[in-house]
Amino acid sequence: MLSVSFTSEFFNFDSKITFMINTFVRTIFFLMSISFTNKVIGQTSKFVETSEKIENLLLYKQKSPTQLRDLLTELERNKKGYESDYLLLKSRVDEVLMPIDIKFARSDVYNKKYREAVQKTKQMKVNYSFDPKIQKLENYLDHKLYKFHKNNLKKKKPTWFSLEPSISLYTSELEVKSTTDIRNVNPVYGLGFYVKFKNTEKSTYSNGKSNFNFSQLGVKLDYRDPNYTYLKDSAFVAKSPYFNTQLSFLYKKTLGLDAGIMSFSNAIGDFSSVFSFTGSFYIPMRFVSLGVNARVLTDFMSTNPSIQFGTTLKFNLGLYKSFSSRDREEIRSQVMKFKEGK
């Protein structure tokens, strides 16, 4: 009798323990389900709320890229269970953002902010699927970068020819023995064409362009205009025009020596000629040079040659910079390095 009573009490205790465990487990699962449900409901409401904000912004004509990006980032964080809806809305936002990003990048290129343009283009290629408009933008950027680096390379290259128009003031022909003062001055217009040699870089200007030192050899033609005469003396007699064809040499842009034949036009069809030898000293100032001149005129028959004195302003117009296939290859390498931030 005692044994039966003990067994009954034991089974009653065991069933109570089992009931308590089952009740505890069911309570835990119930609380977890409530928490999960609340979380899903909260996430769902957040996704819907953010979607509505984006839809509202898309209705406006003027859209803020920053606002759209921030909302799209927030929408991505709450897209669980709404992946297809998220992708659909993202594609609509991308259709709005991509043209704006392209416009901003082209603006950077226009303002020569090439670093910013490169970064924006790289980011677009990551943010958006392939689009011909992005490829067109990159081609435009590459063209501008090529041109930019080409100009920088050309700044370091010398020109090999020079076209030099000039205007001078020369005295009339004076005898050496009677030279006392400067009188009867006429304008003389000149044009020279030269080949440069011994082109060596001397310094660099503030704009990055190299300054070169060189010598040059060429031909020069001068014309005296007798219609204008300055500093006339009392014995002034109008002078005839002349053409002076010369072989011209300039050493290191400063010391000049010209030799030629000066032909005077005394009347229609009436010409007389003498040999001319001109020594000059110039002060070069980038695109112009200011100089003083002394000229000897002789026919090698007279024992008393004539002389002239003058001052000249000439313009130094450099022509032709060599540009080889190796230069093109170097520029392409520089463009690639620039885009990689090197």
Percent with pLDDT over 90 in the chain: 36
- Lowest average pLDDT, out of 138-147, 243-252, 302-311, goes to 302-311
| Cβ-contact 225, 189 below 8 angstroms | yes
Q: What is the Cα–Cα distance from 159 to 218, expressed in whole angstroms?
A: 15
CATH fold for domain 161-319 = Porin (2.40.160)
Residue 20 has pLDDT above 80, yes or no: no
Paired with 41 in beta bridges are none
Report d(CA 209, CA 189) in Å as an integer. Answer: 30
Residue whose structure tokens are 């594609």: 91
Regarding predicted confidence, which is higher, 230 or 6? 230
pLDDT single digits (tens) 172-231:
887 766 666 677 888 999 999 999 988 787 777 766 677 788 899 999 999 988 888 887
Burial 56-91 (b: 16+ CB within 10 A, else e): ebeeeeeeeeeebeebbebbeebbeebeeebeebbe
Is residue 270 within 8 Å of 262, Cβ to Cβ?
Answer: no
Per-residue pLDDT, averaged over 35-41, amounts to 45
63-117 tens-digit pLDDT = 888 888 888 888 888 888 888 888 888 888 888 889 999 999 999 999 999 999 9
Closest CA to 319 of 137, 165, 166, 177: 165
Q: What is the pLDDT of the chain when averaged over all its residues?
A: 82
Q: How many of the other CB atoms lie within 10 Å of CB of 319?
A: 12
Phi, psi dihedral angles at 2 (to 5 degrees) = -65, -40
Kindly tell me if the per-residue pLDDT of 250 is higher than 50: yes
Domain ranges of the chain: 14-155, 161-319
CA distances from 229 to 21, 105, 218, 233, 235 (A): 126, 61, 29, 10, 13
User: Is residue 30 scored above 50 in pLDDT?
Assistant: no
Q: What pLDDT, on a 0 to 100 scale, did the predictor assign at position 205?
A: 72
Q: What is the pLDDT of residue 175?
A: 76
Residue 190 contacts residue 314 (beta carbons within 8 Å): yes
**3-state SS assignment for residue 157:** coil
Query: Residue 14: is its pLDDT beyond 70?
Result: no
